[in-house]
Amino acid sequence: MNNKNRVREGSRIATAVMYILAIIVVFITLYPMYYVLILSLSEARYAATMEVYTIPRGFNLDAYRILVMDPKIWRFFGNTVMYAVSGMLLMLVTSVLGAFPLTFKSLIGRKYINTYLLITMFFSGGLIPSFLLILRLGMYDTPLALIIPGCFSVWNIILTKSYLSTIPETLREAAKIDGANVYQILLRIYLPLSIPILAVISVYTVVGVWNSWFPALVYLPHVDWQPLQLYLRRMLVNAEAPAQILSPDAAKELAALRLSYVQVKYAMIIFTSLPILFSYPFFQKYFMKGIMLGSLKE
């Protein structure tokens, strides 16, 4: 039985070369994550010296036990989920509401609005004006400091507009003839047909928010609302803290603590990456379709 995914065109040599290159790319992509995984599953002394290459040495789950039993981890994990979900939903709302009106060729000032949006992609006020704005709005040291600034993206608006423009205008005209208003056209026609691009924006937003730590470092001085990635950064900094002059017993305890920190930081990387890795397959079908169709215009 022939495999539908098999490369059919070209010679056998060309096909073999393509498969070899694909295997090399897959290896280069996956091995770093696999390497971190086996380091997190190895004993602390092997993880510290990085003398692990293919399988874990001295299989050990202590690092994951430390993470699971740490109540701070789950608090920061909940904060990150809150930022990711709220940011994704608000990003979808602003992207659709910002892109849909721009698909109307009769919109007054449509050309100038597009130009204005493009300008904001190349020029910004910078960190200090943004910090002063967050401070004046009373959002400093609150979750809103991360949610509100991250719920709008000109790039996502342009991406959504490009996709919505591929939907035939005859559907819109037919809906108008049947008595549908603008809101009904958006909710009943455009949104059901825009699932692929919405999935793309959802993945981009969730991954961006999940991996973000610098805005929290700037706007959230207290740990109550900080995300998981900032906790990971703090853990890595503590693991690399400079040595101090201590007694022999204290030095031995500090050395053991640093060994455990080395193992825990690898486990922490895996722990923070798994939700994104597991969620991607659910969006893959729409993700690929959205990338391809969003770049074309009929």
pLDDT at 237: 67
**Could you tell me the pLDDT band of residue 93, with boundaries at 50, 70 and 90?**
very high
Please name the amino acid found at residue 200.
V
- Judged by average pLDDT, the poorest of 47-56, 234-243, 246-255 is 246-255
Most confident of 68-72, 88-92, 195-199: 88-92
pLDDT at 219: 92
pLDDT at 297: 44
What whole-number percentage of the chain has pLDDT above 90? Answer: 12
Domain extents for the chain? 1-60, 70-294
Query: Per residue in 186-201, pLDDT tens?
Result: 888 888 888 888 888 8
Distance CA 162, CA 181 (A): 22
Q: What is the mean pLDDT of the chain?
A: 79
pLDDT at 140: 92
pLDDT at 253: 42
pLDDT at 21: 93
- Judged by average pLDDT, the poorest of 63-72, 160-169, 219-228, 252-261 is 252-261
CATH of 70-294, one of 1.10.3720.10, 3.40.50.1970, 3.80.30.20, 3.20.20.70: 1.10.3720.10
225 CB-near residues (< 8 Å, 6+ apart): 79, 141, 142, 143, 146, 216
